[in-house]
Amino acid sequence: MIKIVTDSATDVPDDLAREAGITRIPVYVTIGTNVYKDGVEIDQAHLVRRMVDEKLVVRTSQPSPGDFLEVYRDLTADGSSVISIHISSGFSGTVQTANLARNMLPERDITVIDTETASMAAGFTVLAAARLARLGKSKDEILAAIRGVLKRTGLFLTVGSLEHLQRNGRIGRAQALIGSILSIRPILTVQDGVITAFDRVRGAQKVIPRLVEIYRQHIPEGVKVSVAIGHVDVVDTARALAGELQKVFNVGELFIFRAGAAISANLGPGAFGVMFCTEQ
């Protein structure tokens, strides 16, 4: 059997993870001196409330090698293989610790994948791999499919403030300062595994039209596309964006979800992003 492992920062929705038999290892979220497991001991609603009300500084950290080691041992005890799919090594040390755990079990068949992206942009890959594993596909077939999905996947996002990205070292200090002074709403993407400025608009009301325009440039006309819209406590905005995308594109699967606590801690309240995966 092929078993699929991921981390909580890929944001695969709970019901889909259960249905597809995906094992998720939680990222750690630190608030003050307290450390929580993302999605297990803390959720987005609790985190955002405290970020807004208490002006908290929130940090995130990758799972430990021991966390991975325990899961890998359990899943491979019956001779199964593991494909472990994770967010970009440019954002987190998760891939590194997964590889450390894999190297502690040299006799087991474990492959670690760096998606070079995050949230459901990585989650599309996790879902595709798990669904193929359920169909009995071989490891080589699943790995080839993963490479194909990653080539057809994109992510664009915006944040209410660049403060949280800058504070957690995810974006340069100068860009954060410019964004706050000019009240410009940045549109960001992921390139070569790191967050990169793609565009900027003046005023929040211009973000959705600009995102639709960007997607026109990246999705061929008529091609069926899966869409995932993640948000940090702005569900109405996420639904509005979904409606606009459905008017323009041939949308198949559509997910609107609250970003997990790990992603939310780095993006901050008011952030939302849209991820897509076109059909082959």
Q: What pLDDT is recorded for position 51?
A: 75
Q: What pLDDT is recorded for position 39?
A: 85
Identity of the residue numbered 66: G
2-27+62-150 — its CATH code? 3.40.50.10170
Burial of 113 (0-12, 13-18, 19+ CB in 10 A): buried
Secondary structure, 3-state, 25-38: ECCEEEECCEEEEE
Measured CA to CA, the distance from residue 64 to residue 28 in angstroms comes to 9
Measured CA to CA, the distance from residue 238 to residue 228 in angstroms comes to 10
**Does an H or E element contain 112, and which?**
strand 110-114
pLDDT, tens digit, 9 for 90 and up, residues 208-255: 999 999 999 999 888 999 999 999 989 999 999 999 999 999 999 999
Backbone angles phi, psi at 67, to 5 degrees: -60, -45
Q: If you search the block for the tokens 């094992």, which residue do you land on?
A: 23
Of the pLDDT bands very low, low, confident and very high (cuts 50, 70, 90), residue 57 is confident
Query: Helix (H, G, I), strand (E, B), or coil: what is residue 104?
Result: coil
pLDDT, tens digit, 9 for 90 and up, residues 187-205: 999 988 988 889 888 888 8
Give residue 59's region: left, alpha or beta (phi > 0; psi -120 to 50). beta
Among 3.40.50.1000, 3.30.1180.10, 2.60.40.1180, 3.30.530.20, name the CATH number for the domain at 153-278: 3.30.1180.10
pLDDT, tens digit, 9 for 90 and up, residues 88-139: 999 899 999 999 999 999 999 999 999 999 999 999 999 999 999 999 999 9
More confident residue, 220 or 56: 220
Measured CA to CA, the distance from residue 67 to residue 133 in angstroms comes to 23
**Does an H or E element contain 154, and which?**
strand 153-158
Task: For helices 94-103 and 65-76, give the axis angle rounded to 10 degrees.
Answer: 50
Q: What pLDDT is recorded for position 177?
A: 43
Under a CB-based contact definition with an 8 Å cutoff, are residues 90 and 192 in contact? yes
- Using only C-alpha atoms, what is the Rg of the chain? 18
The CATH 3.30.1180.10 portion of the chain extends over 153-278
The CATH 3.40.50.10170 portion of the chain extends over 2-27+62-150
Cα–Cα separations (whole angstroms), residue 53 to 32, 46, 47, 73, 266: 14, 11, 10, 41, 17
